[in-house]
Structure 1
Amino acid sequence: MVKKIGYILTSVLSLLFVACAGGSCNVVPNRSFTTNINQSEHLGVYATNGWAYAGGGYAGLVVYNSGTQTNPKLLAYDRCSTINPEAGNKVEVEGLTLIDRASGARWLMLDGSPIEIAECPLKPYAVGQNGSIFYVQN
């Protein structure tokens, strides 16, 4: 019985490894960049649940404040839809979701996870801070 469970567990883990190694959700091409996010150019992102579009990434960025106005916590995603990324369709903010108007796919702004049609999350980027200026980079 233990041997059978071990075999099943090994098979499942192998399938997961192969699926992840194939990059099934690593569909947006990499681009090296660093983009500064500051209040003069991206005022909207400094409000609670605020956001702003910015340059960088493959198809631009959407930057979201999941914190507060006085204590911002910025998250950044590539605007490239994970549905047919070769087309370079840009997602747009609609409330607290992001939508690819070409396919109708939707993602949550809070974590970039798919909520409708899409299977892959939006590509996230690292956000750092130097004083009052935030920066997004890959």
Structure 2
Amino acid sequence: MKYIGIYIAFAFLSTLLGSCGSSGCNVIPNTTVHSSFSQGSHPKLFAAMGADYVDGGVCGLIVYNTGDGFVAFDRCSPVNPEKRNRVELYGSSIAHDPVSGAKWLLKDGSPLAIAECPLKPYRVGKFGTTYTVSN
């Protein structure tokens, strides 16, 4: 009986410590997102590899035209997210956090340098001539 209690305590601690690792990437707070854009409001987006800022999200949004459609990400940097640093466009297909120096690929939000976590993505849907970013 004594060993069962030790085993249960060991299993509990292993689970607890394993869940606190650095691989937890849900670091940007959840917020309701419902923002729209069109060719008239954001003409830069309608060229292949075009990108622009759109209102919404925690720190604003970056929308990127992959050539096959649009993807959208929160501008809140997942590097020290409590500081609410805004990522910025850096060239035609990269975003960067000017504070930490971290960089992400805009095609899918994956980290390129310094950052371990990807940018927080949102869905983009088309309704007539208007596109809507939502979660």
Could you tell me the TM-score, scaled by structure 1's length? 0.80
Distance 2:131 2:44 in 1: 14
Aligned equivalent of 2:76? 80
Distance 1:29 1:80 in 2: 9
Aligned equivalent of 2:103? 106
Shift of 1:109: 0.8
Query: AA paired with 1:118?
Result: A
Aligned equivalent of 2:34? 34
Unaligned segments of structure 2, at least 5 residues? 1-13
Alignment root-mean-square deviation, CA: 2.1
Shift of 1:77: 0.2
SS in 2 for 1:127: strand
Identity %: 47
Unaligned segments of structure 1, at least 5 residues? 1-13
The structure with more radius of gyration: 2
Q: 1:119 aligns with which of 116, 119, 131?
A: 116
| TM-aligned CA distance change 1:37 to 1:19, over 3 Å | farther
Runs of 4+ deviating beyond 4 Å = none
Compare 39-48 and 118-127 and name the one that shifted more: 39-48
SS in 1 for 2:44: helix
